C-alpha cells in the first residue's frame, strides 16, 4: 500500500506551475503579503459553477470593471446585472449573486464572513463555495471538493465506487490531505492539478507531483477513474417562441418570472414548455412559422422551440411583454437560448 500523498509536494509544484487567473493572488504574491479579495474570490467561484474557466474570464473582468466591490454590486440594478450575466447560464446564480451581495452590504457592513460556518449562511453559497472562499480568501483549512478534486482523489486512493454516491467518501479522503499551513494555496493547487495534469483523458502522470503516491497509477487504473453511475437520458420538452418586430424596429420582449429557469431574464415570449404546448401568441398578428427548430439543452432536459415571427403596426398593443426600442435592443443581453432564436430567424428586416 502506497503512502498518502504529501501536501508539501503539491505546494512545491504549485509554486512553479500555478495558473494565472484574474481573480487569483498567486503563490509568490501571497507569500509576499498580498491578501486575496473575498469579493473577487466569491464572484469567481459563483461564476465557475458548472462553467469553464475560459468562459468565465471575460464575464469576471467585465463584472469587476462595472462593480469593483460587493457594495457596488449590491446597489446595481437587477436588469443591468442580469444583462451582463446573459450567456453564462444557470441564471439562479445571478439572482442569488444579487441577494448575497445585498446581505453582505446591508447586514454585514460590506465584509464577507471569514469562516465556513458564516459563509454558508449567505444566499447562494453552498458547501463547496463556502469552503472555497474560506480557504482561498481567508486561508482557513476548509476542504474544497470540485470535479477536479474528485477526480484527483479517486485516482490517488484508487476509489472505484461510482459518483455521485462516492462523493462523501472522496470528501472525507480529501479532508485528510488538507493542510493547516497554506490551505488556500493548497485548495487552488489541487484544483490546478486536476485541470492541467490529472485530466479526464490522457492524464500526464509522468509530470504529476503525486505520482509516487498514486494508487491508481500503480495499479494502472487511472483511466477508469472516477467511475460514474450511468446517466439517465434527458427528457425532451417543446415550446413556441414568438419574435415580433414593430414597424419602427422595436422588438417585443418579455421578462420571465423571478423563479424558475431563466428567472428575471428578458427574452422572447414563449408558450409553456412541455410535451404538447398550447399556442399563446403575445400580440395579435399574422404569425409565420419559420422552417427552423431551435434546440437548447438545460441541466435536466432538452428544449425544442418552434419559432414564429410577425411584423406589427405601431398602434398594436401586446397582451404580454413590452416593446424595446431598436436602439436599446441588444441580442447579446439575451440568455443563450433566446439568442439562438434571434440568430435563427429573419427579424432583421421586413419580409
If asked whether residues 183 and 55 sit together in one domain, one would say yes
Task: Provide φ and ψ at 26, rounded to 5°.
Answer: -65, 165
If asked whether residues 138 and 262 sit together in one domain, one would say no
If asked whether residues 78 and 178 sit together in one domain, one would say yes
If asked whether residues 180 and 247 sit together in one domain, one would say no
In the structure grid, which three cell numbers stand for residue 42, read together? 466569491
Q: How confident is the model at residue 1 (pLDDT cuts 50, 70, 90)?
A: low
Select which of 3, 12, 45, 328 is catalytic.
45
pTM: 0.81
pLDDT of residue 98: 96
Residue 347 pLDDT greater than 80, yes or no: no
Residue 106 · residue 87 · CB < 8 Å: no
Residue 125 lies in a domain: yes
In the structure grid, which three cell numbers stand for residue 99, read together? 441577494
In the structure grid, which three cell numbers stand for residue 184, read together? 488556500
Residue 189 · residue 10 · CB < 8 Å: yes
**More confident position, 107 or 1:** 107
Domain count for the chain: 2
Residue 68 pLDDT greater than 60, yes or no: yes
Residue 56 lies in a domain: yes
If asked whether residues 187 and 253 sit together in one domain, one would say no
For the chain, the first-to-last Cα distance in angstroms comes to 73
CA-closest candidate to residue 288, choices 243, 253, 336, 327: 243
Going from the C-alpha of 264 to that of each of 32, 79, 135, 209, the distances in angstroms are 43, 8, 32, 46
Residue 349 pLDDT greater than 50, yes or no: no
Q: How far is CA 28 from the centre of its chain?
A: 28
Query: Which of residues 160, 193, 226 is at a domain's end?
Result: 193
If asked whether residues 252 and 320 sit together in one domain, one would say yes
Q: How far apart are CA 339 and CA 243, in angstroms?
A: 11
Q: How far apart are CA 235 and CA 77, in angstroms?
A: 35
Q: How far apart are CA 218 and CA 72, in angstroms?
A: 51
Task: Average the pLDDT over 296-307 and give the result.
Answer: 94
Classified as helix, coil or strand, 273 is coil
Q: Average the pLDDT over each of 144-148, 223-227, 255-259 and give the range with the smallest value.
A: 255-259
Query: Which of residues 193, 227, 261 is at a domain's end?
Result: 193
pLDDT of residue 231: 87
In eight-state DSSP terms, residue 302 is E
Task: Average the pLDDT over 281-300 and give the result.
Answer: 94
Residue 157 · residue 173 · CB < 8 Å: yes
Residue 247 lies in a domain: yes
Task: Provide φ and ψ at 251, rounded to 5°.
Answer: -110, 140
If asked whether residues 17 and 139 sit together in one domain, one would say yes
Residue 5 pLDDT greater than 90, yes or no: no
Residue 351 pLDDT greater than 60, yes or no: no
pLDDT digits (tens, 9 = 90+) for 202-236: 999 999 999 999 999 999 999 999 999 998 899 99
Range of the domain at 328: 236-344
Classified as helix, coil or strand, 228 is strand
pLDDT digits (tens, 9 = 90+) for 165-207: 999 999 999 999 999 999 999 999 999 999 999 999 999 999 9
Residues of the chain above pLDDT 70, percent: 98
If asked whether residues 60 and 132 sit together in one domain, one would say yes
pLDDT of residue 260: 81
Task: Average the pLDDT over 261-289 and give the result.
Answer: 94
Q: Where are the beta strands (DSSP E) in 159-248?
A: 236-246
The C-alpha torsion from 258 through 263 and 269 to 271, rounded to 10°, is -90
If asked whether residues 249 and 180 sit together in one domain, one would say no
If asked whether residues 115 and 13 sit together in one domain, one would say yes
If asked whether residues 95 and 179 sit together in one domain, one would say yes
If asked whether residues 54 and 187 sit together in one domain, one would say yes
Residue ranges of the alpha helices (H) in 75-124? 78-85, 92-107, 116-119
- Assign residue 305 the CATH number of its domain: 3.90.79.10
Q: How confident is the model at residue 264 (pLDDT cuts 50, 70, 90)?
A: confident
45 is catalytic: yes
Residue 218 lies in a domain: no
Residue 104 · residue 111 · CB < 8 Å: yes
Q: How far apart are CA 247 and CA 228, in angstroms?
A: 53
pLDDT of residue 263: 84
Residue 273 lies in a domain: yes
Residue 304 · residue 348 · CB < 8 Å: no
Cis peptide before 164 (omega within 30 of 0): yes
pLDDT of residue 320: 95
pLDDT of residue 348: 53
SS (H, E, C) 308-346: EEEEECCCCCCCCCEEECCCCCCHHHCCHHHHHHHHHCC
Residue 217 lies in a domain: no
Amino acid at each position: 500500500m502506497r503512502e498518502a500523498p504529501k501536501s508539501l509536494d503539491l505546494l512545491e509544484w504549485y509554486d512553479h506551475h500555478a495558473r494565472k487567473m484574474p481573480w487569483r493572488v498567486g503563490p509568490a504574491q501571497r507569500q509576499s503579503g498580498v491578501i486575496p479579495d473575498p469579493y473577487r474570490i466569491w464572484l469567481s467561484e459563483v461564476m465557475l459553477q458548472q462553467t469553464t474557466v475560459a468562459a468565465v474570464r471575460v464575464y469576471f473582468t467585465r463584472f469587476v470593471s462595472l462593480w469593483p466591490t460587493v457594495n457596488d454590486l449590491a446597489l446595481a440594478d437587477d436588469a443591468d446585472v442580469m444583462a451582463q450575466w446573459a450567456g453564462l447560464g444557470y441564471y439562479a446564480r445571478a439572482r442569488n449573486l444579487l441577494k448575497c451581495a445585498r446581505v453582505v452590504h446591508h447586514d454585514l457592513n460590506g465584509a464577507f464572513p471569514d469562516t465556513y460556518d458564516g459563509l454558508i449562511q449567505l444566499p447562494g453559497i453552498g458547501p463547496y463555495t463556502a469552503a472555497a472562499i474560506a480557504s482561498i480568501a481567508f486561508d482557513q483549512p476548509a476542504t474544497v471538493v470540485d470535479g477536479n478534486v474528485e477526480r484527483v482523489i479517486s485516482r490517488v486512493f484508487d476509489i472505484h465506487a461510482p459518483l455521485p454516491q462516492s462523493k462523501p467518501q472522496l470528501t472525507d479522503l480529501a479532508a485528510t490531505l488538507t493542510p493547516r499551513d497554506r490551505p488556500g494555496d493548497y485548495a487552488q493547487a489541487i484544483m490546478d492539478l486536476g485541470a492541467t495534469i490529472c485530466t479526464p483523458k490522457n492524464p500526464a502522470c509522468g509530470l504529476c507531483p503525486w505520482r509516487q503516491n498514486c494508487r491508481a497509477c500503480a495499479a494502472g487504473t487511472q483511466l477508469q477513474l472516477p467511475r460514474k453511475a450511468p446517466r439517465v437520458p434527458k427528457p425532451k420538452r417543446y415550446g413556441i417562441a414568438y419574435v415580433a418586430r414593430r414597424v419602427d424596429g422595436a422588438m417585443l420582449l418579455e421578462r420571465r418570472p423571478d423563479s424558475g429557469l431563466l428567472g428575471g431574464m428578458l427574452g422572447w415570449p414563449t408558450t409553456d414548455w412541455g410535451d404538447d404546448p398550447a399556442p399563446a401568441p403575445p400580440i395579435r398578428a399574422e404569425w409565420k412559422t419559420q422552417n427552423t427548430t431551435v434546440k437548447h439543452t438545460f441541466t435536466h432536459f432538452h428544449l425544442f422551440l418552434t419559432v414564429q415571427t410577425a411584423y406589427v403596426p405601431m398602434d398594436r398593443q401586446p397582451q404580454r411583454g413590452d416593446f424595446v426600442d431598436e436602439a436599446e435592443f441588444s441580442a447579446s443581453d439575451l440568455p443563450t437560448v433566446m439568442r439562438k432564436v434571434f440568430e435563427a430567424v429573419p427579424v432583421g428586416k421586413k419580409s
